[in-house]
Amino acid sequence: MMPNLRAALRRLIGSLLAAFAVAACNGTEAGDMGRRVEQPVAFNHQLHIVELEMDCTECHRYVTTNRKATLPTAEVCADCHSEPQGESAEEEKLVSLISSEEGLNWQRIYVLPKHVYFSHFRHVTLGQMGCPECHGSMSELSRPPSQPAVNILDMDYCVDCHEDQLVSNDCLACHI
């Protein structure tokens, strides 16, 4: 791309994003750190990861190959929970949600604004970074988190690490 075109694009992105920021100020938009979430089932990461020795990719199936890690569908849980495994009330709820075919409407807490490009493949596979670097220690949680563990949805957090690791901080690398 010609340098003056790139500079013009960058100015354009700057002003567009400034408008975005104003529009996002007065609501519970993506990236709002204070937002509380209610999950359909109180999923227990610690039990499945530590005691049952499951790998993150069994549920977050695309985390090493795609942009999005994705959250598990009811079919993933149904592999083990179409019949009760134990006696917990939460599991009972899950078993009935699975058989009702209502689906599991998980609420996400890590959501970047649409103008930011982020790829798990790039960081986890090419960059060989561990999940705790950006999500804290999920394997210690026995209940769903209601807030991000790390301030990863903040631009400074991305930019500081890129600076340390000599990765591009060109506006156009992250803003599409």
Q: Assign residue 53 a region (left: φ > 0; alpha: ψ between -120 and 50; beta: otherwise).
A: left
Q: 28 or 88, CB closer to ligand HEC?
A: 88
Q: Closest approach of Cβ 128 to ligand HEC, in Å? A: 8
Q: Which residues contact 4 (CB under 8 A, 6 or more apart)?
A: none
Q: Closest approach of Cβ 110 to ligand HEC, in Å? A: 3
Q: Closest approach of Cβ 168 to ligand HEC, in Å? A: 4
Q: 2 or 15, CB closer to ligand HEC?
A: 15
The CB-based long-range contact list for 150-159 (8 Å cut-off, 24+ gap) reads 151/33, 152/110, 153/31, 153/33, 153/110, 153/111, 153/112
Q: Closest approach of Cβ 40 to ligand HEC, in Å? A: 8
Q: 6 or 68, CB closer to ligand HEC?
A: 68
Q: Closest approach of Cβ 2 to ligand HEC, in Å? A: 19
Q: 79 or 101, CB closer to ligand HEC?
A: 79
Q: 8 or 21, CB closer to ligand HEC?
A: 21
By beta carbon distance, the residue nearest ligand HEC is 86
